[in-house]
Each structure stands twice: as C-alpha cells, then as structure tokens.
Amino acid sequence: MYYLILFIVFAIGASIGSFLNVVIYRVPRGESIVFPPSRCPHCGHKLAWYDMIPIVSYLILKGKCRYCGKSISPLYPVIEFITGVWTVLVFIMLFPGNIDAFVEVLVFGYFAIALSVIDMQLYILPNKILLPMAIFEIVWSVFALVMKWETFIDLRNRLIGAVVLLVFFLIIYYLVPDGMGEGDVKLSPIIGWFLGFPKIVPWFFIAFGLGAIVGVIFMLISKFTKGETKHVVPFGPFMLLGAILSWFYGIPIILWYRRLFFI
C-alpha cells in the first residue's frame, strides 16, 4: 500500500511537471499558459489527452509527434520525471509530520525547476515567474504565522535573510561588471526569505561553491577545445539548488562547523 501511495504521488508530481513544461516553453515567449490548448511545437496540431500522459505518451510515441512524425525534445519527459521524483522525496521527508514545510518546500521546488531550465536555456529569470514565487512565499509565511506554525521570530529571520541577500547581490551587481544578472538580483531576496537566517550562511558556500566548480569545468572544456566552445554559466540554477540543499542541510552544516572549530 505504501508503494502504491508513492506511485500516486509520483504520478501527481509528473503531471505537475507536464504543466511546468508549458510554463517553461510559453512564459519566456510571452504566451498564455492557459490558452490555446497544448499543441505540437512543429505542426501546431492540438494534442489529445492521450498524447499528454506524463512520460508514458512520450515512450509510446517513441519521442515523436503522432500527427507529423517530427521528434519531440526529450527534455519534456525528463522534466516530468524530475518533478515526480522531487514530489516523492519531499513527501517522504516532510509529510505528514510537517505540513507547513511540506507545502512551502514542494512549491519552491516546482518554481526552482521551471526557473532553472529557463535560465539554462535562455539565460533569463522571467519576472512572470519570480513575482508569483515571491507572492507565494510571503502569503504562505503569513498564513503559517496565523496558523501558529511559525512565530514572529521566524518572520524576522526570513526578513533578515531577504535583506542580507538582496544587499549582497546589489553590491555585486553595481560593483562588478557582468558579475550578476538582474534576474539573479531579483531572485536573491526570495531565496533569503525562503531560507531565513541562519540558513543563508551555508547557502553562500553551497551556491557559490557549486557555481565555481561547474564554471571551472566549462573553462577547462573551452581550453581543451582551443576556445572553439564558449560556455556562459547561468547562476540561477546554483542559487536555487543551493537553497534547497541549505533548507534541508543548512542547520546540520552549521552545527558541524561549530563543533569542528569552536569546541
């Protein structure tokens, strides 16, 4: 029964991943995510419900459009699979013991998946996704406060996290040419609010550390290809991945550091 529940949770997550595919494709192009209904990106034929079963339809159709036969990007089922796995992981770790955190972390992850893919593809973090993400974080925090899941101290720590990250990124943005994009600056207070203080402290090391490692790898690739391959590494995905890792492991990291150097 437990595995059946996990399968259902995965299916729900994969279905949300299917919706994220729509968001990822349409939002940067300024299109509505509601209308028109889903269509083939090649021939424009309206897709039937059985063409949009997450992961399954792609496998049955062997990655091709039923109507024109052209190949469909494998990124679609990959995003559906990642979203399904993410939903299962958060369900296992936080449900039902911590409903407050379960909802917030789950939804933050959905936003993170959409933003990360868009940033890796187009090097932008659209305001049309950042704004709803910020509104959700604030509204959910207030709701958690009303429900007494959080306290005013928690709200204060969220505010500290948002202000500290925003100020830090603004300094980099204005003092270091091309050091940080506008989207990264706008994302920073959202992450700061999500994590709060002191979880933002390990976030710095995780996010910038991951970004530096990948950046060095791409520099080496460029060197070995004698400059034939140029790579611009978007920082948004590392900010978001760092936020998720810091939410789960930030406090253990801080406690480990204190035991290592202060005791």
Give ∠ CA 64-114-129 in degrees, rounded to 5.
130
Q: What is the pLDDT of residue 228?
A: 52
Written as six digits, the tokens of 84 are 């399904």
Looking at per-residue pLDDT, the higher value among 43 and 250 belongs to 250
Backbone angles phi, psi at 46, to 5 degrees: -65, 135
Please write the tens of the pLDDT for every residue from 90-148: 999 999 888 999 999 999 999 999 999 999 999 999 999 999 999 999 999 999 999 99
Q: Give tens-digit pLDDT for 28-67.
A: 999 999 888 888 888 888 888 888 899 999 999 989 988 8
Can you say whether residue 73 is alpha, beta or left, with left for phi > 0 and alpha for psi between -120 and 50 degrees?
beta
Backbone angles phi, psi at 22, to 5 degrees: -65, -45
What SS3 class is residue 64? strand
Asked whether the predicted pLDDT for residue 263 surpasses 90, the reply is no
230 pLDDT band, cuts 50/70/90, is low
pLDDT at 262: 65
pLDDT at res. 43: 85
Query: Are 246 and 105 contacting, i.e. CB atoms less than 8 angstroms apart?
Result: no
Residue 178 pLDDT: 75
54 by DSSP, 3-state: which? coil
pLDDT above 90 as % of the chain = 70
Count of other CB atoms within 10 angstroms of residue 180: 19
Query: Residue 110 and residue 129: Cα distance in Å, rounded?
Result: 11
Write down the pLDDT at residue 136: 98
Whether 94 and 144 have beta carbons less than 8 Å apart is answered as no
Residue 159 has pLDDT above 80, yes or no: yes
pLDDT value at residue 36: 83
Burial 141-179 (b: 16+ CB within 10 A, else e): beebeeeebbeeeebebbbbbbebbbebbeeebeeeeee
Q: What is the pLDDT of residue 226?
A: 61
pLDDT above 70 for 202? yes
188-197, 209-218, 219-228, range with the lowest pLDDT = 219-228
**Is the pLDDT higher at 15 or at 179?**
15
